[in-house]
A and B are shown apart, each in its own frame.
Chain A
């Protein structure tokens, strides 16, 4: 095993651990807000490491191939960065939209010790 393989194992192991943890969190937590905590943060973090691993893989293949084939791996790296940017900007906004829809339709946070939103009208 060389350095490339070890780097990819580490990055992908972190990514799998957090993404699976987030999906388990969907079942462990009691209400929609806490589930959003689990789902949004862990899948975003996991995707960052997954795409970092793909970039490492692209760099690894770049060292092997030459000539015209090199272009396709550079293209893979560039498009992966765009996919990561799309995820980073859309994920928190989507989570915020779901949380607001849930609160405005009257889903109460479970086990809440404080709920300031009840005063708003």
Chain B
């Protein structure tokens, strides 16, 4: 087996997958809702990096197109969840 740039990319993708697992542990442990959102945000960023790495490994540019869309959609999701947490608290105080 030759040790060239594509093998290094594969090792990087494996390491990033490990990072996703560590972040998911925080997503399950909590303890508060914002903690879980932070973990989710971290997972999203790492997934975008992982997709770009895989695009270079498989030499399929479509992966990067999907990574861009994923980055923007996950940003929308993060903003929406943050707003949702704020609004839920206000409703509880009003009742």
Is there contact, CB below 8 Å, between A104 and B89? yes
Is there contact, CB below 8 Å, between A4 and B5? yes
Q: Do A83 and B68 form a contact, CB below 8 Å, given A26-B42, A76-B56, A101-B82?
A: yes
Q: Do A50 and B52 form a contact, CB below 8 Å, given A86-B71, A97-B82, A101-B83?
A: yes
Is there contact, CB below 8 Å, between A36 and B49? no
B-side contacts of A47, CB under 8 Å? 45, 48-49
Contact of B61 among A23, A57, A72, A101 (CB under 8 A): A72
| Distance in Å: Cβ of B40 to nearest Cβ of chain A | 9
Is there contact, CB below 8 Å, between A94 and B78? yes
Q: Can you show 23 pairs from A to B with CB atoms below 8 A apart?
A: A8-B8, A12-B9, A19-B46, A22-B19, A22-B42, A27-B26, A32-B38, A39-B23, A39-B39, A44-B45, A46-B49, A50-B12, A54-B52, A54-B53, A79-B61, A82-B64, A83-B48, A98-B41, A100-B82, A102-B34, A104-B89, A105-B33, A105-B88
